[in-house]
Structure 1
Amino acid sequence: MRDPKRLVLILFAALVGWLGLAPPASARELPKPVSCPGCWKPALNTSWQWQLFTVPTEPFLDVAMYDIDGFNASAATVQRLHATKKDRKVVCYISAGSHENWRPDAAEFPSAVLGKQLDDWEGERWLDIRAFNGPLGTVLKKRMDMCKSKGFDAIEFDNVDGYGNDTGFPLKADDQLAFNTWLANEAHARGLSAGLKNDVPQLKQLQPYFDWALNEECWEQKECTSAQAGYGYDKYVAAGKAVFNVEYNLATSAFCAKSNAQNFNSLKKKYDLDAYRVPCRGV
């Protein structure tokens, strides 16, 4: 007589495979970090500009790193950013955890992975990141290939903390770990440096996979340091990994001295992430 429980498990496994859903990370070991000896490892003190909603134009700022939108920037812009300052690096911003209906590849996302709308971001919906082994992963790999082909040095993956939001899917912390480690490894497989965006509760687990970190509002949210968050960005600095921080609402007098003391690269920016910036370190 057949075991009905075993039959259910077989059918469930088949369904998971058909949808491209990854099994929970707790059901398997996380992958080993993919080494990338040639990847850019930013110095702890790295001047930078984060400009996503407009494309930088010459004359560029005299900074060591530009983080710009991967779709909006052309290969020519990336080339000019490299050419106009020795050793300048350029980071490719892409959203990995959300669907943006204005992107040229928006129709390639399966409808089954589209979740609830992000708060305050019209036209943007959370993704079911558990499906990275299927069609979703194919789309994201194409985005990473785009970053590589345009000559970028690194990738900033946005919206990689869906498990802590109301996405419309029952995402768990283990699902996020599996997805985020996959992203970092895929970037390294392409020779691109990988930056961890936010996801403060998983800083410790993800630290071996990412080359640097970018945070929004950790001083305002009181989660920058280990004294505040249990495992903070000070641990990344201690491991030789640069930390880039942006505050929107705080006055520079409320965070710059603290950031400099922690060896963070902090800026004050506006929410629309245009050219406006006030650096804590003066450059």
Structure 2
Amino acid sequence: MLAGCAGSSGGAQGGDGTARDRDAAPSASAARRWQPRPGTTWQWQLSGRLDTSVPAEVYDIDGFDHTAATVAALHREGRKVVCYISTGAWEEFRPDAEKFPASVLGEGNGWPGERWLDIRRTEVLEPLMAARLDMCRDKGFDAVEPDNMDGWRNRTGFPLTAADQLRYNRLIARLAHERGLAVGLKNDLDQIPQLVGDFDFAVNEQCAQYGECERLKPFTDAGKAVFHAEYELPPSRYCDQSRALRLSSLRKTYELTAWRRTC
């Protein structure tokens, strides 16, 4: 369900050969898209009965498990809603699992029933991910959290490179933007310098535990929220740094139930 936090070994070099004009004027769709700012409060719940009483501006919930009615109800309460889907790993329990050919399924990612995907195979994965993003859009979500976006730093069973990951992550960002959805970069700290312009916010696990939170500054410096969760450290160990870096930090359990602690 959740991707592990990538280690700090070496920054990724190069991109996918695509020149990008960071100074270009935003498109009309970008102007209409939700743009969460640093310090935006959030709740992350992917298991258990959804608790809609949490005082947070943003809810990040499972895109498959929740209906358009749930999203609409959160909107009526003034919340923005993020659609959690996995884009870098296959999950045997999803309704579209049988549409993934065995040739794109790699090693397990550490969570039961999940296996890394061969992200080089975009001719197979693009239509499958487009369909998932269609679901997020059609249910009325404001944004998407695409998980398992750092396969190149893990043992996937495939010889993935930094360039493969950049190409795939930018594909996911483009597909989300084409549907009017904001999109967050999940972990993949090594590639933040190359990808901050492609994503609208970041989602990070355990940057404080691994001493990596400073690496998220490109997002907050660009006026983009960083939604951050720790599982093992008490808030007293990271909240001062989180406030200084303008991170939106939570203490959560690995199961991502409704329970949370804020700074």
Q: Same fold (TM over 0.5)?
A: yes
Q: Which amino acid aligns with 2:112?
A: E
- 1:30/1:178 contact within 8 Å kept: no
2:39 to 39, 45, 49: 45
Deviation at residue 262 of structure 1 after TM alignment: 1.2
Contiguous gaps of at least 5 residues in structure 2: 1-13
What SS does the aligned partner of 1:235 have? helix
Contiguous gaps of at least 5 residues in structure 1: 1-24, 226-231
Listed as ranges, the matches of 1:239-278 within 5 Å are 239-278=222-261
1:208 to 185, 197, 200: 197
Q: Percent identity?
A: 48
What SS does the aligned partner of 1:215 have? strand
| Number of residue pairs the alignment of both structures matches | 245
- 1:44/1:240 contact within 8 Å kept: yes
- 1:95/1:159 contact within 8 Å kept: yes
What SS does the aligned partner of 2:213 have? coil
Normalised by the size of structure 1, how large is the TM-score?
A: 0.83
1:236 to 215, 219, 232: 219
Q: Which amino acid aligns with 2:174?
A: N
Query: Per chain length, whose mean CA-contact separation is higher, i.e. which structure has more relative contact order (CA < 8 Å, sep 6+)?
Result: 2
Aligned counterparts of 1:162 and 1:62: Cα–Cα separation in 2: 34
What SS does the aligned partner of 1:77 have? helix
Find the counterpart in structure 2 of residue 170 from structure 1: 159
Deviation at residue 135 of structure 1 after TM alignment: 2.2
Find the counterpart in structure 2 of residue 19 from structure 1: none
Q: 1:146 to 1:251 in 2, by over 3 A?
A: same
Aligned counterparts of 1:199 and 1:27: Cα–Cα separation in 2: 16
Find the counterpart in structure 1 of residue 104 from structure 2: 113
Deviation at residue 239 of structure 1 after TM alignment: 1.0
Q: Is 1:69 matched with 2:62?
A: yes
Q: 1:181 to 1:27 in 2, by over 3 A?
A: closer
Aligned counterparts of 1:241 and 1:27: Cα–Cα separation in 2: 23
Aligned counterparts of 2:176 and 2:68: Cα–Cα separation in 1: 18
Please tell me the root mean square deviation across aligned C-alpha atoms, in Å.
1.6
Listed as ranges, the matches of 1:2-41 within 5 Å are 28-29=17-18, 35=27, 36-41=30-35
Post-superposition Cα deviations, 1:168-195, rounded to whole Å, max 9, x if no partner, equal: 0000000000000111111011000011
Find the counterpart in structure 2 of residue 223 from structure 1: 212
